[in-house]
Amino acid sequence: MTNRKVLTIKAVAQALLDKGLLTQEQFTDVIVQGEARTARLQGQHPGYARRFAQSPVLPSPAEVISSFNLEIPGGNGRILTEDAITQVIAKAAGIPYLKIDPLKLDLEVVTSPIPRPFAMKHLIVPVAENGETITIAVADPFSVDEIESLLRLKKVNVERVLSSKSDILKILREFFGFRASILAAQNESAATVDLGNLEQFVRMKGHHDIDGSDRNIVNAVEFILTYAFDQRASDIHIEPKRDMSLIRFRMDGVLHNIHTIPKPLHLPIVSRIKMLSRMDLAEKRRPQDGRIKTNHGDREVELRVSTLPVAFGEKVVIRIFDPDILMKDLDGIGFYPREYQLYNGFIRKPNGIILVTGPTGSGKTTTLYSTLRTLSSPEVNVVTIEDPIEMVMEEFNQVGIQSGIGVTFGTILRNILRQDPDIIMVGEIRDRETAENAVQAALTGHLVLSTLHTNDAPSSVTRLLDLGVPPFLISSTVIGIVAQRLVRCICPLCKRERQLSGEEQAFLGLDARHTRVFYGDGCTACRGTGYRGRSGIFEVMDFTENLIARLGDEADTAELQEIALRDGMIPLRQVAVRKMLEGVTTYEEVIAVT
Ligand SMILES: [Zn+2]
């Protein structure tokens, strides 16, 4: 290999500039800082590269330039991604570009023609086979000779396509890792035939260090978890069907099919997960709960595992609690400044009740945990009563409900008051006893945070009245009420602009000045959904003098709403519309959520 051409940052940046994907200024920045950036990226290889790459792979020009997160000139805030850069390189090199979809690849095609170390070293992946021709995705347009000579030995024709290095690495990891483990384990289990024995075998190994032949199951489970963390999934479902087992991830609130695994491997994989979460392996007929603490990079992640016997075996659901997702800085969960200031005022009060309301999955827990983290310090005694404990946090004293043996929110709350807490978080006020104890705690100098299952802030007052709390106790204890929802955010990589129709405008009561909105077209990054990530929207009701005065007169929900609005409360719908006009979310989300 002599005089092999090398793709430089400068050449790629020039091509991007020519295509109008970089401004002159961005171009200069890239050239000036390119080298330092390359060195920095080299120092912080993503975990998988460290773990799975045989040889250290240098950052490619596309990786380096995309790491600047540059905004495409005139692109409506779209970011110049590694994929976009790879497309430009492909065009310049005269090679077709391919965005690899892992779900469309065949394990045999990917893993058989080229040995893994060679594929890793040269960053190449066979993606299709058609008779005598094999299509190979390459990350470097100049990697021609070595690949062709290798395949000429096998007497096949080679067609090259260019794909991003990240995609190729992901596929190599995925296929040589997960699928190879699955295949190996399957061969193993076929030899054993008796699956009961295989499971027994896994369990016995559990008492010693895991090694040897069940390494494949261990690897497969690790791949599933790592992949879920990488995808920022909130739940993993492993569902036994008649002939196979289905692995699904919930991402941004929606379930996606990720893998199917051969049926004989369902049992050992479930056993491995049960073992990790310290469940009873022999128990297969009753639901069980467990926890796994693990890490993703340098962050600690908590997994809550539950099993449920269904028709074709045990179904496993793993909920992922990533502290970075569950507990954010309070100013990072989506509050607008006015609402943030109000809420921040509520939580700085020494005593009283703060309620967060909304349906299941509206982000209430994130708001409460984030609040507790903001307030907690060594001098402040924080106690939580939850059903069940969502995430174990050392700095809080957490108590779980066991309604089966009569340990309810109410009874625990009564006992906890003797332990002199400063701040009490009650998972949910759902009965009269809990409501009375919460009021009692607030009256005796504690700050109480809790949730209610109501749709908006004003109707929460009505709910408290229904639970038997008299108006004068509500007005003397409740500081403020927050109603919240989560809206899905538009994927920044496929964001497009459109105009609202007359009908849509009328529906939201918008005038002709507010017609420009955005949506996501759907791309591989967002799995065609057009959305990535979520943001909270908040309606904050302050207990003003006016409100308190009318409360005593037994005003109904509509009247309370009217007073709150007059005193400055901005309703959920209006907050959502603002997020839509700012291009954070879509018209459809606003309608669906509010
Ligand atoms: Zn997208």
pLDDT tens per residue across span 219-243 = 888 888 988 887 788 899 999 988 8
Distance from Cα 575 to the centre of ligand 1, integer Å? 24
Q: Give long-range contacts, CB 8 A cutoff, 24+ apart: 203-206.
A: 203/271, 203/275, 203/281, 206/275, 206/281
Residues 546 and 441 in one domain: yes
Measured in Å, residue 519 CA sits from the centre of ligand 1 at 10
> What pLDDT shows up at residue 203?
40
Q: Mean pLDDT throughout 95-105? A: 83
Are 340 and 405 within one domain?
A: yes
More confident residue, 211 or 478: 478
The answer as to whether 578 is a domain residue is no
Mean pLDDT throughout 538-545?
94
Q: Tell me how many domains the chain contains.
A: 3
Q: Is the pLDDT of residue 185 over 50?
A: yes
79 Cα: distance to centroid of ligand 1 (angstroms): 11
pLDDT score of 301 more than 80:
yes
Query: What are the residues facing 480 on neighbouring strands?
Result: 354, 542
Tokens found for residue 431: 């009965």
Tell whether 348 and 232 lie within a shared domain.
no
User: For residue 461, what are the CA distances in angstroms to 145, 561, 564?
Assistant: 74, 10, 12
Quick one: pLDDT at residue 188? 65
385 or 298, which is more confident: 385
Token pair in block for residue 279:
């469940």
Ligand 1 centre to CA of 542 (Å) is 38
Cβ contact 171:110 at 8 Å:
yes
Segment 200-225 shows an average pLDDT of 58
How do residues 567-591 score in pLDDT, each as one tens digit? 999 999 999 999 999 999 999 999 9
CA dist 125 and 186 (Å) reads: 24
Domain assignment present for residue 337? The answer is: yes
pLDDT the model gives residue 241:
87
Question: Among 68-82, 187-201, 579-593, where is mean pLDDT lowest?
Answer: 187-201
Cα 586 to ligand 1 centroid, rounded to whole Å: 13
d(CA 485, ligand 1 centre) in Å: 22
Q: 203: CA distance to ligand 1 center in Å?
A: 43
- CATH classification at residue 91: 3.30.300.160
Q: Residue 21 has what pLDDT?
A: 93
* Domain-terminating residue out of 298, 320, 342: 320
CA distance 390 to 388: 6
Which of the two residues, 346 and 294, has the higher pLDDT score?
A: 346
**C-alpha to C-alpha distance for 270 and 221, rounded to whole angstroms:** 9
Q: How far is the CA of 572 from the centre of ligand 1 (A)?
A: 26
Q: 8 or 207: which carries more pLDDT confidence?
A: 8
Query: How many whole angstroms from 520 Cα to the centroid of ligand 1?
Result: 6
**Which segment of 87-96, 207-216, 470-479 scores lowest on mean pLDDT?**
207-216
> Which residues are CB-neighbours of 434 under 8 A, at least 6 positions away?
408, 409, 410, 413, 426, 428
3-state secondary structure 203-263: HHHHCCCCCHHHHHHHHHHHHHHHHHHHCCCCEEEEEECCCEEEEEEEECCEEEEEEEEEH
Confidence band of 305 (pLDDT split at 50, 70, 90): very high
Q: Is residue 53 part of a domain?
A: yes
Q: Tokens at residue 130, please?
A: 């058609």
Q: Is residue 188 part of a domain?
A: no
Q: How far apart are CA 74 and CA 395, in angstroms?
A: 47
Ligand 1 center to residue 60 CA distance, Å?
23
Q: Work out the average pLDDT over 36-55.
A: 58
Calculate mean pLDDT across residues 373-391.
83
Locus of tokens 């077709």: 96
**Tokens 């490619």 identify what position?**
60
359 & 479 share domain: yes
Note whether 482 and 357 are within 8 A (CB).
yes
- Taking residues 355-383, report their average pLDDT: 88
To the nearest whole number, what is the mean pLDDT of the chain? 84
Query: Quick check: is 333 in a domain?
Result: yes
Q: How would you class 356 by CB atoms within 10 Å of its CB: exposed for 0-12, middle for 13-18, buried for 19 or more?
A: buried
* C-alpha of residue 524 to centroid of ligand 1, in Å: 6
Highest mean pLDDT among 145-149, 333-337, 353-357: 353-357
List the single range of 151-165, 187-201, 470-484 with lowest mean pLDDT. 187-201
* Coil/strand/helix, residue 318: strand
> How far is ligand 1, taken at its centre, from the CA of residue 474, in Å?
46
Per-residue pLDDT at 530 exceeds 70 = yes
Q: Is residue 1 situated within a structural domain?
A: no
46 and 118 inside one domain: yes
Which CATH number covers residue 236? 3.30.450.90
Query: Are residues 151 and 16 part of one domain?
Result: yes
What's the gap in Å between 522 CA and the centre of ligand 1?
4
Does 344 share its domain with 311? Answer: no
Residue 495: inside a domain, yes or no? no
Q: Which long-range contacts (CB under 8 A, 24 or more apart) does 197-206 make?
A: 198/264, 198/267, 198/268, 199/267, 199/268, 199/271, 199/281, 202/268, 202/271, 202/272, 202/275, 203/271, 203/275, 203/281, 206/275, 206/281
Tokens of 48: 């998988």
Question: Which pLDDT does position 438 carry in this prediction?
Answer: 92
Mean pLDDT in residue range 508-512: 89
Give strand pairing partners of 304: 291, 319
Task: Give yes or no: residues 316 and 233 share one domain.
Answer: yes
Where among 285, 320, 355 does a domain terminate?
A: 320
The answer to the question of residue 586 being in a domain is: no
- Shared domain for 156 and 227, answered yes or no, is no
**How many angstroms is it from 99 CA to the middle of ligand 1?**
13
**Segment 489-503, tens digit of pLDDT:** 999 888 999 999 999
Residues 57 and 203 in one domain: no
Going from the Cα of 393 to the center of ligand 1, the distance in angstroms, rounded, reads: 34
pLDDT tens string 429-477: 989 989 999 999 999 999 999 999 999 999 999 999 999 999 999 999 9
Q: Both 159 and 203 in a single domain?
A: no
**What's the mean pLDDT in 277-297?**
87
**Where residue 449 sits, what CATH number does that domain have?**
3.40.50.300
186 contacts 264 by C-beta, under 8 angstroms: yes
Four-point Cα dihedral 466, 467, 471, 474, nearest 10:
-130
Predicted local distance difference test score (pLDDT) of residue 198: 43
pLDDT of 199 > 60? The answer is no
Helix (H) or strand (E) holding 136: strand 133-138
Which residue range(s) make up the domain with 209? 193-320
| Segment 302-311 long-range contacts (CB within 8 Å, at least 24 positions apart) | 302/391, 302/392, 303/225, 303/277, 304/388, 304/390, 304/391, 305/273, 305/274, 305/276, 305/277, 305/279, 307/270, 307/274, 307/279, 309/284, 309/285, 310/239, 310/240
- Given a cut of 60, whether residue 84 has pLDDT beyond it is yes
Give the pLDDT confidence score for residue 53 in this predicted structure: 43
Q: What is the DSSP string of 48-91?
A: HHHHH-SSPPPPPHHHHHHTT-PBPTTSTT-B--HHHHHHHHHH
Decide if pLDDT at 184 tops 60. Answer: yes
Query: Comparing 195-199, 213-217, 524-528, 547-551, which segment has the lowest mean pLDDT?
Result: 195-199
- The rounded Å distance from CA 490 to ligand 1 centre is 8
Ligand 1 centroid–CA 161 distance in Å is 22
How much of the chain, in percent, has pLDDT values that exceed 70? 91
For 388-425, the pLDDT digits (tens) are: 777 777 778 888 877 677 777 778 888 887 777 889 99
- 179: DSSP letter: I
Res 12 pLDDT > 90: yes
Residue 103: pLDDT band (50, 70, 90) is low
Pair (14, 86) in one structural domain: yes
Which residues crowd ion ligand 1, with CB under 5 Å? 491, 493-494, 520, 523, 525-526
What the block records as the tokens of 332 is: 């990072």
CA of 164 to the centre of ligand 1 (A): 16
